[in-house]
Structure 1
Amino acid sequence: MLNPYKTCLLIDDSYIDNFISRRILESSNFAEQIIVCQSPAEAIDLLREGSVKPDVIFLDIRMPLMTGFEFLQEYDALPMDKDGIKIFMLSSSLDPTDLKESLGNKYITQFIHKPLTLKSLEEICP
C-alpha cells in the first residue's frame, strides 16, 4: 500500500488503541498524514475550524463525554463538504445494536472490529 489517502483522522479515547492503530496505519503507508484525537469533541473542533480535511475517519463508538454516534450527529451539523470522506466505525463492541446503528448511518462506510489490522486496511483500500 502506498498512501492511497492524503489525510486520515483517528478518533479513539484509548491511548493504547490509538498507538496500535497509528503504527498499523504508518507501517502500511495508508495515508500521507495521520491525525489522532483522543476525544470526539477535539475532532469536531478541528473539522469545524477547517484545519483538517480527512479522506478517511476511523471512529470508536464507546467513549466518555461523547460517543461515536454523538460525534456523527455533530458531524452532520458541520457546514463543510463531506463528499469523499469515508468513515469507518472501528470498535471492539459486540453489541448487535451498535452494528445495526452503524450500518444504518448514512456516513458510515463500514464497521471494523478492533484491532485494526493490515488485512482490514487492504480490504478497504481503493
Structure 2
Amino acid sequence: MTVPYKTCLLIDDNYIDNFVTRRILEASHFAEQIIVRQSPAEAINSLRDGVIKPDVIFLDIRMPMMSGFEFLQEYDQLGISKSDIKIFMLSSSLDPVDMRQSESNKYITQFIHKPLTIKALEELSA
C-alpha cells in the first residue's frame, strides 16, 4: 500500500478531536508519521527549529492563545520552504467568514469540516 504523505502534522487544542483524527489518519494509512501538537505556538516552534518537516498539516481554527489564522500569520514569517506543504483547515466552524478567510489564504489547500472521515481523506489523496 502506498502512503500518500511522509509526515502529517495535526494542530488542534482538543484532545478528543486529536485522538479521533489521528485514528482515522492511521486507519487510512494517510502518512508514515503523524505528529500532534495541541498548541499552535508549539507547532510554530517545532517548524522553525526544523524538528518537524511535514508534507501536510491539518489545522483547527478555534484554539485558545492562537487561532488557526494567527498560526498562518506566524507560519508566513517562518524561513522554511513552504512550497511542498499542504495545509488543510480542519474545523467544526460553520461561520461563513472562517470559510471565506480559508479560501482566500494562500497556504490553505482546502477547508474540511470536522469530523475528518476516511472518505474525505480518500478524496484528498485522489
What is the CA–CA distance in structure 2 between the aligned matches of 1:59 and 1:108, rounded to whole Å?
Answer: 9
Name 2:48's counterpart in structure 1.
Answer: 48
Name 2:94's counterpart in structure 1.
Answer: 94
Name 1:70's counterpart in structure 2.
Answer: 70
- Counterpart amino acid of 1:53? K
TM-score by length of 2: 0.98
Name 1:23's counterpart in structure 2.
Answer: 23
Q: Is the 8 A contact 1:2 1:28 kept in 2?
A: no
Does residue 6 (structure 1) correspond to residue 34 (structure 2)? The answer is no
What is the CA–CA distance in structure 1 between the aligned matches of 2:115 and 2:8, rounded to whole Å?
Answer: 17
- Counterpart amino acid of 1:64? P
- Counterpart amino acid of 2:81? D
Give per-residue Cα distances to partners, 1:7-48, cap 9 Å, x unaligned: 000000000000000000001110000000001001001000
Name 1:82's counterpart in structure 2.
Answer: 82
Q: CA RMSD in A?
A: 0.8
- Counterpart amino acid of 2:124? I
Name 1:58's counterpart in structure 2.
Answer: 58
What is the CA–CA distance in structure 1 between the aligned matches of 2:3 and 2:36, rounded to whole Å?
Answer: 17
**Sequence identity (%):** 75
SS in 2 for 1:79: coil
What is the CA–CA distance in structure 2 between the aligned matches of 1:80 and 1:3, rounded to whole Å?
Answer: 24
SS in 2 for 1:101: helix
Deviation at 1:2, TM superposition (A): 3.3
Gaps of 5+ in 1: none
Give per-residue Cα distances to partners, 1:38-90, cap 9 Å, x unaligned: 01001001000001110000000000000000000000000000011000000
Q: Is the 8 A contact 1:11 1:36 kept in 2?
A: yes
Deviation at 1:3, TM superposition (A): 1.3
- Counterpart amino acid of 2:15? Y
Gaps of 5+ in 2: none
What is the CA–CA distance in structure 2 between the aligned matches of 1:123 and 1:69, rounded to whole Å?
Answer: 24
TM-score by length of 1: 0.98
What is the CA–CA distance in structure 1 between the aligned matches of 2:83 and 2:108, rounded to whole Å?
Answer: 13
- Number of matched pairs: 126
